Structure 1
Amino acid sequence: MSGLFLSKIYNAVANSIHKAGIRRTKFHLLGAGVSIGRPFHCSGERNISIGEYTYIGPGAKLYGVGGITIEKGTIIGPDVTIYSANHVFRDAHYIPYDHRVDTKPVSIGENVWIGGNVIIVPGTSIGEGSIIGAGSVVTGTVAPFSIVAGNPAKVIGSRDASHYNKLKSENKIYFRAKQLGTLQQ
């Protein structure tokens, strides 16, 4: 690819991140080709890693004090909230809770698709290639290639792992192809 072409892509992504009010240096890791819509709310940025060619839709809220890892190629719809900590309420010094927080990291595998208005709670792990239906509340562990939906989210299907792995081996990652201008109809 030409340097001019790659420069245009870099500038478009940098502009997207700038418009969202994000400073790359605040994050533990912010990969190439990341695009974040605005408005965007984020805290605990130093505990957040976002892999390359990840898209985060407008209205997202990431509370990273307990750690959030989003691996490459993930697409996150609008108004998604990810929590990685909760107030301590068991044996608390006050009610309904006290000043302490219980941190539990969240991990989201490669090429996960998360629909709009999803809530992900502390300690959740979403496996590679999974799809999370819009409006779901996700807790615990989601196995790779699972399709989950609901509140609480339950497995409603699974992806074809061999087809997924074929596309992955060919580097056919949607948001990457879209940004590089190689998306084919």
Structure 2
Amino acid sequence: MIIGKIIKFIEAIKLKRLIRKLNVSGSNNNISSSIVIYYPERVSLGDYIYIGPNAEINGLGGVEIMNGVIIGPNLVLHSANHTFKNSKYIPYDETFDFRKVTIGENVWIGGNVIITPGSDIGEGCIVGAGCVISGTILPLSIVVGNPCRVIKSRDSEHYYKLKKENKIYLKEKLEKNLKPEINLNYKE
């Protein structure tokens, strides 16, 4: 029991040090202590962001995660790739192609998602578990699969009404101590 508390204490210190190295770190974020961020000085986080366990973010090419984003466990995010075109070696050389990744406001990313360099996930998107994201995802899209494909869009009127009312899940949870409700009658 004491060893567990010591380990949690050490993890909390390591996380605080990592967050101080970020280019921008918003407030009221809930980030798992198991996160790994390479090049944190090139990563910017907004407010009210949740990042689940075992996330790995490579910020070399730049990463911006905006307000209200919820990210499930085991995220892998890359913002740069080795250069192979006209490289000096095979399969690639020591140079990199930097391609910023942007995750818009209020995006919900499921578990085990891979985000490739240059991806731009629009505001309000829902990314299904296990997706591989590459390229631009238009705002309010709901995407699934590998490669990901849009299966529908969120209700824009409802989304923008909630946004105008500042109904951000993590904000509400932190400020009002919301508890999950189980809806057994959910129908799509």
- TM class by shorter chain equals 0.7 to 0.9
1:181 matched to 2:176? The reply is yes
Aligned partner of 1:70 in structure 2 is 65
Quote the offset at 1:170 in angstroms. Answer: 1.0
Q: How does 1:160-179 map to 2 (within 5 A)?
A: 160-179=155-174
1:107 aligned counterpart, secondary structure: strand
Per-residue deviation, residues 121-168 of structure 1 (Å, max 9, x unmatched)? 000000000000000000000000000011111101110011001111
Q: Give identity over the alignment, percent.
A: 49
Residue 20 to residue 178, structure 1, CA distance change in 2 (3 Å) = farther
How far the C-alpha of 1:46 sits from its partner, in A, is: 0.7
Structure 2 counterpart of 1:154: 149
Instruction: State TM-score, norm by structure 2.
Output: 0.86
The one-letter code matched in structure 1 to 2:167 is K
Match of 1:83 among 66, 78, 89: 78
- Cα distance change, pair 153–19 in 1 and its aligned pair in 2 (3 A): farther
SS in structure 1 opposite 2:15?
coil
* Mapped contact 2:132–2:145 kept (Cα < 8 A): yes
What residue ranges of structure 1 are gaps of 5+ in the alignment? 1-14
Matched, 1:124 2:119: yes
Question: In structure 1, how many angstroms separate the alpha carbons of the residues matched to 2:72 and 2:163?
Answer: 21
Letter in 2 for 1:21: L
1:8-33: CA deviations, max 9, x gaps?
xxxxxxx8x83662423200111101
The CA RMSD over aligned residues, in Å, is 1.6
Q: What is aligned with 1:106?
A: 101
The count of residues paired between Structure 1 and Structure 2 equals 170
**TM-score, structure 1 length as denominator?**
0.88
Do the aligned partners of 1:20 and 1:37 also contact (CA within 8 Å) in 2? no
8 A Cα contact 1:20 1:36, kept in partner: no
One-letter amino acid of the counterpart of residue 51, structure 2: I
Match of 1:18 in 2: 12
